[in-house]
Amino acid sequence: MTTAIETALTEARVQQLRADFPILSEQPGGVPLVYLDSGATSQQPRQVLEAEWAFRTQRNAAVHRGAHTLAALATDDFESARERIARFVGARPTEISWTMNATDALNTVALSLAEANRAGAVDPTLRIRPGDEILVTEAEHHANLLPWQRLAAETGATLRWVEVDDDGVWTTDALLALITERTRVVAIAHVSNVTGQIAEVEPIVAAAHAAGALVVLDACQSVPHRPVDFRALGVDAAAFSSHKMLGPGGIGVLYLAEALGEALPPARVGGSMITTVTMTEHELLPAPQKFEAGTQPVAAIVGLAAAVDYLEAVGMPAIEVHEVALGERLAAGAAEIDGIRLVGPRPGVERAGLASVIVDGVHAHDAGQLLDAHGIAARVGHHCAQPLHRRLGTAATTRASAYLYTTEGEVDRFLDVLSGVRGYFGAA
């Protein structure tokens, strides 16, 4: 793979990239694989697999703990990864903490706020009292809903949400109308994992901060697919996962803006995040270490850094343009098929590189099985967004999600098989 940043992902360039991904040449069902489930888990290029293997076989040791050479090498890799990943999302290294995954990262923010309030938070930005409000949207992934449900229940705050329309889309104006002087937290997805809707973050941040509220961003579906700069967006906290951006599983990233990272107490305590411990008390290291209790998955972190290197070499602007075009191709094609209901922004309205559909008269799981029989790996279910699906009047949707290695031909193949689903099951 070249290290020169490309300005466009041509068909030839995409084919060149695909050669880096061994799994894309597999035939798991005896037919060529069309992988359209990157919104759930992306595939890994050889460069990432090799980077993780090299660490495990050449530099594996506990970081920040040993005076021997191997520990020093491991620590260098560990902190170098933090610096590279921080740069990738426009953050300072001290603003990046490791978690198990993005769900854990979002829980960490909510649990830390709960701990701050149990301790009688003095900082007004952390204080949540009965009558205060936590604001989300009806389209949130459960990972960005359940922690706030629990925090509201524990603090006595009221959980409020922006409703979606019949297409599963919410508006910025509707959200802004719900921000008041009682709002303490606004937690939203940058990109919906079901609809592909892209949130307008900047005006929401401005309104929330004017009200004294924190903004928490679920960036799982944005950081892997488009240029993202957390400091430029102005959010207070954000979360994303390695396994959705060409990296290994088991590692997530928590961004805490410097002021919030200094003010928040840790959700978990233990080894590696302290300076002094007695039998009755302890003193904490500063952020980010104070949020990293225990042994970290260093090899996976090294793999994630290699994934970031790969994405930067391809060029995030080029990836965004490629995927937006594929998202439009998916949306426009699905909208033209009789008996297929497209969820999310209408064709012609910018969306991320994914599309979810409801097949009239056919359960999503049946549609998924037929797609799979043709080698197409798509996602079926509620995608960890039950309230959204309940509003749409369905238990499940069928979702195709693209990435930098997805071709137009694969999108067309999905649409072709999708067009025959109702006929196959006798629902046409």
Q: Is the per-residue pLDDT at 428 higher than 90?
A: no
Residue 4 resides in a domain: no
Q: Write the pLDDT tens digit of every residue in 226-252.
A: 999 999 999 999 999 999 999 999 999
**CA triplet 48, 50, 54: central angle to 5 degrees?**
120
**Which stretch of 45-49, 119-123, 201-205, 424-428 has the lowest confidence by average pLDDT?**
119-123
**Confidence band of 306 (pLDDT split at 50, 70, 90):** very high
Residue where one domain finishes, among candidates 295, 312, 329: 312
Q: Which residues pair with 283 in a beta bridge?
A: 276
| Same domain flag for 203 and 186 | yes
CATH number of the domain that residue 85 is part of: 3.40.640.10
Q: Give a three-class secondary structure readout of 247-267.
A: CCCCCEEEEECHHHHHHCCCC
- Given a cut of 60, whether residue 310 has pLDDT beyond it is yes
Residues 196 and 279 in one domain: yes
State which of 312, 330, 346 marks the end of a domain: 312
Instruction: Report which of 177, 112, 181, 187 is spatially closest to residue 146, judged by C-alpha positions.
Output: 187
| Active-site annotation holds for 384 | yes
- Is 251 inside any structural domain? yes
Find the domain containing 377 and state its range: 11-44+315-424
Is residue 197 domain-shared with residue 74, that is, in the same domain?
yes
Residues 158 and 78 in one domain: yes
Residue 352 domain flag: yes
pLDDT reported for residue 181: 97
Residue 109 lies in a domain: yes
Q: Per the confidence metrics, is the pTM higher than 0.85?
A: yes
Q: Which of 248, 279, 312 is at the close of a domain?
A: 312
Do residues 16 and 66 both lie within one domain? Answer: no
Is 416 within a domain? yes
Same domain, 321 and 332: yes
The structural domain count of the chain equals 2
Q: pLDDT over 90 for what percent of the chain?
A: 95
190 lies in a domain? yes
| pLDDT, tens digit, 9 for 90 and up, residues 385-395 | 999 999 999 99
Domain assignment present for residue 93? The answer is yes
Query: Do 98 and 234 share a domain, yes or no?
Result: yes
Let me know whether 100 and 189 are in one domain. yes
Predicted pLDDT at 3: 41
What pLDDT does 171 receive? Answer: 98
Q: Does residue 5 lie within any of the structural domains? A: no
- DSSP H helices in 139-221: 146-155, 172-178, 201-210
The pLDDT value recorded for residue 82 is 98
User: How many angstroms separate the CA atoms of 186 and 95, rounded?
Assistant: 20
User: How buried is 425 (Cβ within 10 angstroms: 0-12 exposed, 13-18 middle, 19+ buried)?
Assistant: middle
CATH code of the domain containing 372:
3.90.1150.10
Whether residue 191 sits in one domain with residue 163? yes
- Helices 408-419, 316-335: crossing angle, 10 deg rounding: 20
Asked whether residue 229 falls in the same domain as residue 370, the answer is: no
Of 72, 206, 335, 384, the active-site residue reads 384
Both 170 and 35 in a single domain?
A: no
Q: Is the pLDDT of residue 65 over 70?
A: yes
How high is the pLDDT of residue 241? Answer: 98
| Distance of alpha carbon 286 from alpha carbon 274, whole angstroms | 9
Whether the upstream peptide bond of residue 288 has omega within 30° of 0, thus cis, is: yes
Tens digits of per-residue pLDDT, 102-157? 999 999 999 999 999 998 867 889 999 999 999 999 999 999 999 999 999 999 99
Q: Are 85 and 129 members of one domain?
A: yes
Question: For residue 332, what are the contacts with CB-CB under 8 A and spacing of at least 6?
Answer: 347, 348
